[in-house]
Structure formats: C-alpha cells, structure tokens
Structure 1
Amino acid sequence: MKPLIVLIIVFSISIFAIKLATSKYDFPLSARIAMCAMLCFTAIGHFAFTKGMSLMIPDFIPFKIEVIYLTGILEILLGICLFIPSFKIYAGWILILFFILMLPANIKASIDKLDYQKGTFDGNGLLYLWFRIPLQLFFIIWTYLSTAKY
C-alpha cells in the first residue's frame, strides 16, 4: 500500500510542478518521476528489511541476501534509467519483467503469512493477494504507458 501512496503523491506533485514550470502537462514524465520515487522507496526496504524479504524468495534460489541487495540496487538503477532517453524504453521493459518476476515471491509471502518488515509469519496472508496482484498489474500498465514510444 505504501508504494502506491508514494506513486500517487509524487505523480500529483510532479504533474503540477511541471505545469507551473513549462505551462504544459507532461503525464509520461510525471509518471516516470513517480515510478522512480516509488522504486527508490521500495529499494530502501531491500536494505532495511533484508532478512524478512529474503524469506520471500523460494528455497531453491541460493544467495537470498545477495539477491535482495541486488534487486534493491536494480530498482534504483532502473528508476534512474527512466530519465535517460536512450535507456527509457529498455528500462520500462526490464521493469515490467521485474514486476512479473516479483509476483511469485509475493504469492509465497502471502501463503506463508510473512510480514517481511518484522521477518515473522503473522502477516496478512492470502487476503493480501487480492490487493497485491491488481497492484502488480497497475505497476506494469503504469510503466508501459509512461515509457512506451508513441
């Protein structure tokens, strides 16, 4: 829920700031600014809640802590790449793939009732998926629309 709030608030602020600065609305740029802010926000979780997030990763994947750090760094780098014209479309497609690949970890966390912030197994459970799956789809559509070449 917090990443969605960050996304919406930053988008709202940036759409009006860009309008004030340029006298035009730039929805794709505002969407990329918001996505970058949201990715940086979620990346912080990779470093602050590493142990809990590592419990989301399926057992057959080795080096769980390193994977968490790597994906946190990847989120920051992809967020930055959203502003580099020659990388914007590639970053968008990689982010879409990233969001798709994250879904099994979120499903596992829900099944295990994981609270990744505490690293405990007393989280929201399967009800969380009713929010998380549509949210993942929303992030995918948001990313596509803000990076697609028209």
Structure 2
Amino acid sequence: MTAPLSKDLVALSGLFVLSATIHLVKPEVYEPIMPEAIPAKREVVYASGVLELLCAGGLLHPRTRKVAGWATAGLLLAVYPANFKMAADVQKSNKTALKAGTLARLPMQIPMIRTALKAARG
C-alpha cells in the first residue's frame, strides 16, 4: 500500500514546478551558474527544467512516487554544485538580501533531499 500524499511532498512538487517554469521561461537566469566545463548551457537548463516537471508530477502520483523520489534526490544532488557556485558568485555583489538568500538556499536542500528519499523508500 502506498503512503498518502504528504504536505512535504506537495510542497516539494510545487517548488519543482516553480523552478522548472523559470528554467523553461527564463533560462538566462540559470546559465551563469553553470560550471564552465558544461557545453550547451541553455540546452542543459532546459533539460533540467523538463526533469523537474517530470519529478514534480511523479511525486504526486502513487504509482510513480518511488521512482520520482529517487530521481528527485538525484537531481537535487546534481544541481547542488550550481547552487553553491551561485552563492559564491553573489557574495561579490552589494546585494545583501540576494547574498543571504543564496546562502540560505544551500542548507534548504537537505530537507528537500530528505523528503525525496522518504518518497523513494515508500
């Protein structure tokens, strides 16, 4: 029997839909945080947006929740270096709120990964 849909899964799915929308509508927001070694940055940003949408939808459906949980945890781990780069890059600016926001985002990945793994484990 599949566990009922929890508030944390709904929230994680919502965050992924929001992030995916930005990836697909304004990919230039994410291109600067891509590691230099990655070619075709825009295409990778689009692909990650599509993956986020797939993960978000998969987390909401009982039949796909476990696979989507593993995929979501993997995606969060895969993009963590870009989030770290964004936080590091922003520290050079004079925008205090943006500095704080990008730094606060880093530890927020932990409960998101935990929620994804909880879904993966059923």
**TM-score under structure 2 length normalisation:** 0.80
| Counterpart in the other structure of 1:142 | 115
- Label 1:35 to 1:108 Cα distance change in 2 as closer, same or farther (>3 A): same
Report how many residues are paired: 116
| Counterpart in the other structure of 1:108 | 85
- Which is further off, 62-71 or 47-56? 47-56
Q: CA deviation at 1:62?
A: 0.6
Ranked by relative contact order (alpha carbons within 8 Å, sequence separation 6 or more), the top structure is 2
Alpha-carbon distance in 1 for matches of 2:16, 2:73 = 13
Question: Gaps (5+ residues) in structure 2?
Answer: none
Question: Gaps (5+ residues) in structure 1?
Answer: 1-25, 115-120
Alpha-carbon distance in 2 for matches of 1:31, 1:127 = 21
Paired residue type of 1:141: R
| Counterpart in the other structure of 2:37 | 60
Paired residue type of 1:136: Q
Secondary structure of the residue aligned to 1:110 is helix
**TM-score under structure 1 length normalisation:** 0.67
Alpha-carbon distance in 2 for matches of 1:122, 1:109 = 14
| Counterpart in the other structure of 2:57 | 80
Paired residue type of 1:97: G
| Counterpart in the other structure of 1:47 | 24
Paired residue type of 1:82: L
Paired residue type of 2:102: Y
Q: CA deviation at 1:125?
A: 4.1
Same amino acid, percent of matched pairs? 25
Confirm or deny: 8 A CA contact 1:29 1:146 kept in the other structure.
no
Which string of whole-angstrom CA distances, capped at 9 and with x for unpartnered residues, describes residues 102-144 of structure 1? 1100111122218xxxxxx665348732x12210001111222
